[in-house]
Amino acid sequence: MEKKYTEEIVLGKRKNGMAMLLLVLALYVAAVAAIIVTAANGAEGFAAAIVLVVCIGWCALGWILLCGLKVLKPQEALVLTLFGKYIGTLKGEGFYWVNPFCSAVNPAAGTKPSTGSTSSRGRGKISGEGGVSINLGEQDVALLSKKLSMKVMTLDNNKQKINDCLGNPVEIGIVVIWRIVNTAKAVFNVDNYVEFLSIQTDSALRNVVRLYPYDVSPNVDTTGDGVADEGSLRGSSEVVAERIRKEIQGKVDMAGLEILEARITYLAYAPEIAAVMLQRQQASAIIDARKMIVDGAVGMVEMALDRLNKGGMVELDEERKAAMVSNLLVVLCGNKDAQPIVNSGSLY
């Protein structure tokens, strides 16, 4: 059964790089001095030969110890293996010395593409139109090296076309704010944690978006409780973003990543239906406005008739009331200003 790394081993007591550097330099000075003294004195014999061999051997191979010196800046980590076996992680700023035969591992070291170029998967981006990458300046250098950045990072996914719960194609883009919390999981449990995060972001985005309509629609259950609600991509963006964050987090736990936040950065109908949906929204707005105008006009007519009846100003039979109601509704509900007509005669 394949081994899963669940805990990282932090090598916190290896900040002895300066002492080792001074020791190696001191031994080089001593070796060179011993060779010069031995050669100057013309020493012969077995002991002199041993001294010369040791000093020359040290001068030739002593530099190997310098390969174990590691320098880390704040919020950087280095995952180390020794002949293929994971031995620990260096974390935090400092000057370290480890076994010179240790090698650093970072499967995402070559993930960063140049600006505007598209990576093999073409999902995330730094700027321009493509490339899986990280959206911070200093950590770009860390990605190209074997160091892991422990900083908060941003994955900006390109907008995607997804069908909502009503089958309408919408274009949506999100930005994911994340960081590495377990270096052993990030390096050994997945092939490339940056691409893994991008793929899982795409999957989570599709799973969540298909549960919501673009706008509020009747008889739609977005929570799964069997009761229709008013959830929508446009009106419930905070709820949708949090649901996407939880969905992504559940998928990337095995990679040692923590999703701090997910935000919707772009939301619109797909171009092929955008014009039709705009007309639909305009028609709905016109109908709602007309309903409000008619409701208000009817109320004003009722108030006018009541005031006239209570004041006893005029006596109106049913026919005159009908004519007055018709005239008031035309004036109140018309799109243009009414043209008054003075009637000097009688209705009969």
- Please, are residues 55 and 34 in contact by the beta-carbon 8 Å criterion? yes
- H/E element, 138: helix 137-144
pLDDT-derived band at 123 (thresholds 50, 70, 90) equals: very low
Q: What is the pLDDT of residue 196?
A: 92
Give the pair of three-digit tokens for residue 207: 């799973």
Which amino acid, residue 80? L
Strand pairing partners for 85?
82
pLDDT-derived band at 311 (thresholds 50, 70, 90) equals: low
pLDDT-derived band at 125 (thresholds 50, 70, 90) equals: very low
The pLDDT mean for the chain works out to 79
Q: What is the pLDDT of residue 3?
A: 57
Instruction: Work out the average pLDDT over 240-268.
Output: 92
pLDDT tens column, 188-241: 999 899 999 999 999 999 999 998 888 877 788 788 777 878 888 888 889 999
Residue 123 burial (CB count, 10 A):
23
Lowest mean pLDDT among 58-62, 122-126, 302-306: 122-126
- Please, are residues 264 and 174 in contact by the beta-carbon 8 Å criterion? yes
Model-level pTM?
A: 0.69
Phi, then psi, of 57 in degrees rounded to 5? -60, -40
pLDDT-derived band at 247 (thresholds 50, 70, 90) equals: very high
What does the longest C-alpha to C-alpha distance in the chain come to? 148
Q: Does domain 124-269 have CATH number 3.90.1150.200?
A: no
Secondary structure class of 210 (helix, strand, coil) = coil
Q: How would you label 191-223 residue by residue, b for 16+ Cβ within 10 Å and e otherwise?
A: ebbbbbbbbbbbebbeebbebbbbbebeebebe
Give the pair of three-digit tokens for residue 213: 């309509």
- Asked if residue 340 has pLDDT above 80, the reply is no
Report residue 304 CA to chain centroid gap: 60
pLDDT tens column, 34-86: 888 877 776 666 777 788 888 888 888 889 999 989 999 898 999 999 998 99
CA atoms of 227 and 213, how far apart (whole Å): 15
Q: What residue ranges do the domains of the chain occupy?
A: 17-104, 124-269, 281-333
- Please, are residues 74 and 93 in contact by the beta-carbon 8 Å criterion? yes
